[in-house]
A and B are shown apart, each in its own frame.
Chain A
Amino acid sequence: MNNSWRQTRILWKVKRRHFTKSVLLLLGICGAAPFLSGCWDRTEITDLAIVTAAAIDKKDSNQIELSVQVFIPSSISSGGGQGGTSQEGGGVTTLVRSEKGSNISDALSKLQSKLPRKIFWGHCKVFVFGEKLAKEGIQEQLDFLLRHPQPREKANMYVSKGKAKPILESLPPLENYSGEVLRELSDLHIGMLVTLQDLDEMLTGKPQAAALPVVKILPPGKGQKKLQGIPYIVGTAVLKKDKMTGTMTEKETRGLLWLRDEMESYTVTFQPKGVKGEISLNPVTAQVKIIPQIINEKWKVLVKVKTEGAVIQNGTNLNLSSPKSLKAAERAYQKDIEKRIEMAFLHTQDKKADILGLGKDFYRKYPKQFNQIENHWNDIFAKMEVEIDVVAHIRRQGYINKPAGLSENEVKDK
């Protein structure tokens, strides 16, 4: 009896000690919590100026101008309830500040004095270089973007036609801010999509040439406010080393996209031989293979394209249901693609800049031979022959099987 009583007492004691121990542990854990956020690097979201896009322009006498588009958080929280406030022009969600300096970090430190919040680069997804700066070299500015821990390698890079700052200043009606417009356009693969990482890779890799999409402001329609023009992608800038040497038009850019196997969902329109009108295909899918060859010391590139499309508009009188007309249309389709690719290829050769990354392809297949000629690769590239081999098919023709609005005898069956 006595014994069991003593046992329960000991048990009690143990339990109590256990209890105090766990309380102390709990207190300890709770007490440590305030320290977990850190002391020196504590940042509150209300202390940050979130940069959504940045533009870098060249000013005279070795100065650059850095403009940042900073997101205004209160604009979202107040305007969100009513919805669509940006239509009235009252929903300005960003502000643009700019400052001159000898390089980005210098300008940035001056810019900071104009902004009450700490500049935060982590969400900056758009960097635009001014045309003048791109022509004089972007390497120095690129170093900052790659070295600083905040800017992200996934950010998209652009070159603007003329000055870059107005691109940030425009207030697009459909999206929240112009940086978002550019990003969305890039995601549609209208022009080239080049991220910071891609640019770094293009410049440090074997070909030492890069291509960046060129953006321009679409002038606003009549009756719209001056700032309502939106930026859009007009072509491609060709960079040799880090300097811009030329541009390619939209049409050439499309050929370039074919060559780089980056083209996605756009419409191909062509005219079959011997008939009036044009046929359009959409969507178009393609598999592009670039095969470098060295035959008898001659450097040559073979482009193999396998492409298929569905008819979306037929302006000719060809009945595509009949095999013969289809063949004719397919042949025209094939010729059209060939021409596009050839044009783009000749154009890049003309610029003597290997923006297709062919140097890399050659290095991958013929490392020894490439190492020997690495120094005059650009000359070899400029003289290189190209063979284009396109296999084109039309797979579907939509909801109607004859050209619309034509009577039986107007349609050419054969």
Chain B
Amino acid sequence: MEKGKISSLQMAFMMYPTIVATALLGVPSITAKYAKTDLWLSPIFAALIGYLTVYIAIKLHKLYPKQTVIQFSEQIIGRIPGKILGFLFLFFYIQNTGLILRGYGEFVVGSFLVNTPISVIMASMVLLCAFIVRGGIEVLGRAAELFVPIFIFPICILILLLIPDFEYKNIFPILGDGIMPPIKGAIVPGGWFSEFFLIIFLLPFLADMKKGMKSGMMSVFAVMMTLIVVNLLVLFVLGSTTSTKLYPLMSASRYISLADFFEHVESAVMAVWIVGAFVKISVFYYATALGTAQWLNLSDYRPVVWPIGILIVIFSFWSLPSSMDVSRNDINVFPFQGTLMQTIIPLLLLVIAIVRKRNHKGTETS
């Protein structure tokens, strides 16, 4: 079905924007709402979910090499329940790709292309992603390799340029209301970290499986560091107003002004963010298309790429009349749904698989 191979480094490069791209923009504000001045601690707690998810995914893959979750869940819990679970996974991924796409569209429409219909923006993004998904995993991996440096570099520049505006005092009090607020603030980024389960769709094509665990963990660590740095950045610049801003990083970047002439650089932030969102949507899209083809036992996943694109656009509108509904969904539903589907259910699968294998071995020897 997929003949391409990627390196473990490419996988890490694909996963990094997959988590960070959207987490950069809206999540600091949501975290700030719960954690107040301790928002920079939340990614540390949230990353635990990321480490756990990567560990589960790698363990599952070692038990069932060269298979994705859609295929091996049938072997673990039987044919019919496996199919149902596979359907739930596919459903979850289509729905969430739609939500990510909608979030992307809302951001572009809300802050830059105010008059452009959102469907045009989203459709053009899906078109682009569909081409790269059809290109296969190698193309996706190389695109990620190319784009991630472009993605990281401006963020570093942004930090440097904002240093004069930093108000370091904003970080105090540290843990003023105890440890609970940052933990509650970690719930939402935790949902984002659970997306690391997507590596289960990439692991079968890894050329150097041995390094898989290492690069997966590295990726989680990189994401955690990025989120900490970005959260500190917005805290230092925006202070107590962080939670009122919809896109804090954007507001902070608008604050850059060097020597009265180097200003208005937020379009650079947008460009960078679109690159990240492109990789993110592509990875989700790829997982969905590949999973659908495997679920239907097709000979190739390419024929379903275009139809799924249409479904993604449809899901990005379905029962979401306004951008407020999208962000409410990000807070109230996605963190729990994401963690349930991508961390807890895989954990159960792993436990069942281990028990089964052990029993199997036991019957063999006896």
Contacts and interface: CB of A to CB of B under 8 A. Distances in A.
Given A154-B257, A197-B238, A367 B177 contact: yes
Nearest to B240: A205
B251 interface: yes
A38 B110 CA distance: 15
Contacts of B264: 122, 152
B167 to A, nearest CB: 9
B239 interface: yes
Contact of A204 (B241, B251, B255): B241
B241 A201 contact: yes
Interface residues of A, number: 24
B117 A201 contact: no
B179 interface: no
A367 B176 contact: yes
B173 interface: yes
Interface string A296-311: 0000000000000000
Q: Would you call the interface of chain A mostly helix, strand, loop, or mixed?
A: helix
Nearest to B246: A147
A41 B113 contact: yes
B115 interface: yes
Given A154-B263, A367-B176, A197 B116 contact: no
A189 to B, nearest CB: 15
Contacts, number: 61
B111 A206 contact: no
B259 to A, nearest CB: 11
Contact of A149 (B114, B172, B237): B114
B112 interface: yes
B244 interface: yes
A149 B113 contact: no
A186 B237 CA distance: 20
A364 interface: yes
B173 A367 contact: yes
B164 to A, nearest CB: 12
B254 A152 contact: yes
Contact of B116 (A39, A149, A205): A39
Contact of A206 (B112, B177, B240): B240
Given A201-B239, A363-B173, A153 B255 contact: yes
Interface in A169-202: 187, 197, 200-201
A205 B240 CA distance: 6
A367 B110 CA distance: 36
A38 B257 CA distance: 28
B116 A40 contact: yes
A204 B243 CA distance: 11
B169 interface: yes
Contacts of B244: 200, 204
A368 interface: yes
Q: How large is the interface on B (under 10, 10 to 19, 20 to 34, 35 or more residues)?
A: 20 to 34
A204 B177 contact: no
Given A41-B113, A365-B173, A200 B241 contact: yes
A158 B244 CA distance: 23
Contacts of B120: 40
Interface string B105-135: 0000011111111001000000000000000
Given A152-B254, A363-B173, A41 B116 contact: yes
Nearest to B251: A153
Given A363-B173, A367-B177, A38 B113 contact: yes
B116 A38 contact: yes
Contacts of A187: 260
B117 A364 contact: no
A153 B110 CA distance: 17
Contact of A154 (B111, B176, B254): B254
Nearest to B172: A364
A147 B228 CA distance: 27
A33 B240 CA distance: 43
Nearest to A35: B124
B174 to A, nearest CB: 9
A41 B251 contact: no
A204 B173 contact: no
Interface in B76-115: 110-115
B238 A201 contact: yes
A197 B240 CA distance: 11
Interface in A198-253: 200-201, 204-206
A367 B264 CA distance: 36
Contacts of A154: 254-255, 257, 263
B173 A41 contact: no
Given A149-B111, A154-B255, A40 B173 contact: no
Nearest to B167: A201
Contact of A153 (B114, B176, B254): B254
A27 B141 CA distance: 27
Interface of B: 110-117, 120, 169, 172-173, 176-177, 237-241, 244, 251, 254-255, 257, 260, 263-264
Shortest beta-carbon contacts, A-B, top 5: A367-B176, A364-B172, A40-B116, A367-B173, A40-B115
